[in-house]
A and B are shown apart, each in its own frame.
Chain A
């Protein structure tokens, strides 16, 4: 960060492309209509970390933070934001205009469990929504479906094997 640059606001961009802007210095007040409401980040033994807003406590957790990307659990809902300065925002706009599309989709295990069945093999053509494998976790069978139309490049998961969360299961070439 360049010390001599004066940044007057920051943007938090949600993964669904919603934009929230906050003037600097960051206040612990948020304006709704014509009124300012105090927002406070607190932590104590009984509740853990929480946000106090309009006399109500909301549980919060920082699930992940990497560079300017934050995954926040707020009242049991996950939100992912990238925080941008007006300069990085400008740079991003320029970059994204020339960006290509994704060619390969790597599916990872959404939870730890056991692979019960693999319905496709390398080279199979699959349609979006087609079941690829069945992952059993906590007494429930979960179908892993293809997020795209494409061709199976590689199957990493073997039937009856145990997988950890985020283990690579399958790679699909996007068509």
Chain B
């Protein structure tokens, strides 16, 4: 059976990203229209739309396994692409697709299950000689056991959810007195987020870099890696900025870590695109953290420097084709960086700031790639994530990529919500960032999360003063310069109307 129609079990930019490649491969696509986003941009990229907007149940359709299977059947889609998030790493969903003779574009349910369960993954890694932070071999069931193990491996330790991901259910513990409280918080969080209260303990690596390797494996046992991505710029354990390659790796270390990444993928006969995550300490020791069995948000930086379309590879592999790219043919060319422009308030510690995007325009320079599912008029809704767009910028080397990024950031125009742009403006000017010596604690160590030029506050003050004059002082009593009053008034009126 060859894939001829793909149901996109996702929304936003990743749905568009998948549909673009499918379209190029002459495979038709089905997108799902929801009540939350009935006019979303991704719908216009699909060959066929399944209208599910009458369904107002609390669980999003992208998490509803039975519904998705039935949509695939109704529309005649013989494959499903889960994108990232939602059901992308749900082994039961992958199995359900197989049971219903629908191709799941991703790895086997077995690989998803084993890598999704962190304690099983740890055991597999240890069996295969992959370096890991010291930790518990099994799940921890109570505080006493937690204290005992932590004493053995030495504080600080990190408690992690066995079924975890995305930074939830993680707690760092620095001394025994904190253990009881943190253990309870972590397992409560794990239960709520993943329906599984199991946690395990690992030695906490202080100030590491987050380095991950992109893996591609086919159904015939060929597995290669496409080099690393550096994702150390994170807040609340969630990535905000990524680049490829990483300036922390030389060719030798890249080779060693890449080999280990391939080895762990081989342990589960991995067949699709996947990512092996490592922590790298300041002495260049690396530790296996986890494997993500999906396409990642940050996959474009790898595509830019290798010239390989990862979605195309996923589809070909799911079709049973042999992986044509050989490890020695993988060449890294130039540098790519990705800024996640999210609707967030950097002045409120990156709190989400959902709302309607009123204006949006993006740079179109040749060194810029934009992956987005949002256009002017779209809304960032609180039921989904806060992403507006991924700004992907390349250059011949890191310096050029950063310079290009600085220019591109000033060309992005978004109105309607606050965004992470001021953070990136700060980042590209930061010395530690330019030197490449930053670690996962980069954001925590900043005393300010944004950049504004010397004159921006003054210009804002000028505007406040101008408004005060228009609203409070009478034209006759004081000689206000009303040169611009004609173009100003309708705007001011609009603003006032919008306030009610």
Contact = CB atoms under 8 A, between A and B. Distances in A.
Interface of A: 1, 3-7, 10, 12, 14, 18, 20, 22, 24-28, 30, 32, 39-43, 46-49, 51, 53, 56-62, 64-65, 68, 70, 72-79, 81, 83, 110-113, 116-117, 137-142
Given A28-B483, A77-B422, A6 B459 contact: no
Contact of A110 (B351, B359, B487, B495): B351
25 contacts: A3-B477, A7-B478, A10-B468, A14-B457, A20-B465, A22-B462, A25-B478, A41-B463, A41-B466, A41-B491, A46-B359, A48-B358, A61-B415, A62-B467, A68-B468, A70-B463, A72-B464, A76-B450, A77-B456, A78-B345, A78-B347, A79-B460, A81-B460, A138-B385, A139-B385
Contacts of A1: 472-474, 477
B463 A65 contact: no
A75 B468 contact: no
Interface string B213-246: 0000000000000000000000010100000000
Interface of B: 166, 168, 185, 188-189, 192, 236, 238, 345-349, 351-354, 358-359, 361, 382, 384-386, 410, 413-415, 418-419, 421-422, 450, 452, 455-469, 471-474, 476-481, 483-484, 487-488, 490-491, 495, 499
A27 B484 CA distance: 10
A32 B491 contact: no
Given A12-B464, A41-B466, A53-B459, A68 B472 contact: yes
A131 B477 CA distance: 53
A65 to B, nearest CB: 6
A81 B461 contact: yes
A57 B192 CA distance: 45
B415 to A, nearest CB: 5
Nearest to B386: A138
A10 B406 CA distance: 36
A30 to B, nearest CB: 6
Contacts of B354: 111-112, 138
A48 B358 CA distance: 8
A60 B460 contact: yes
A30 B459 contact: yes
A86 to B, nearest CB: 13
Contacts of B192: 116
Of the listed residues B458, B476, B484, B499, the one surrounded by the most CB atoms of chain A closer than 10 A to its CB is B458
B487 A48 contact: no
Given A20-B461, A76-B450, A111-B348, 9 more contacts: A26-B481, A28-B481, A59-B415, A68-B472, A73-B418, A75-B452, A76-B418, A78-B347, A117-B185
B468 A70 contact: yes
Given A14-B461, A26-B481, A77-B452, A65 B352 contact: no
Contacts of A65: 467, 471
B443 to A, nearest CB: 14
B411 to A, nearest CB: 10
Contact of B166 (A5, A28, A32, A139): A139
Contacts of A18: 457
Contact of A83 (B418, B468, B490): B468
Contacts of A24: 469, 478-480
A141 B352 contact: no
Contacts of A6: 478
Contacts of B490: 43
Contacts of A49: 415, 491, 495
Contacts of A83: 464-465, 467-468
A69 B346 CA distance: 22
Nearest to B483: A28
Contacts of A56: 410
A83 B473 CA distance: 12
Contact of A47 (B359, B459, B466): B359
Given A12-B461, A41-B466, A41-B484, A138 B352 contact: yes
A110 B462 contact: no
A70 B359 contact: no
Nearest to A49: B491
A42 B481 contact: no
A48 B459 contact: no
B466 A26 contact: yes
Given A1-B473, A77-B456, A30 B462 contact: yes
A7 B455 contact: no
A7 B421 CA distance: 39
A72 B414 CA distance: 16
A26 B384 contact: no
A68 B466 CA distance: 11
B298 to A, nearest CB: 17
A139 B238 CA distance: 11
Contact of A74 (B188, B236, B463, B471): B463
Contacts of A3: 474, 476-477
Contacts of B462: 12, 20, 22, 26, 30, 39
B384 A75 contact: no
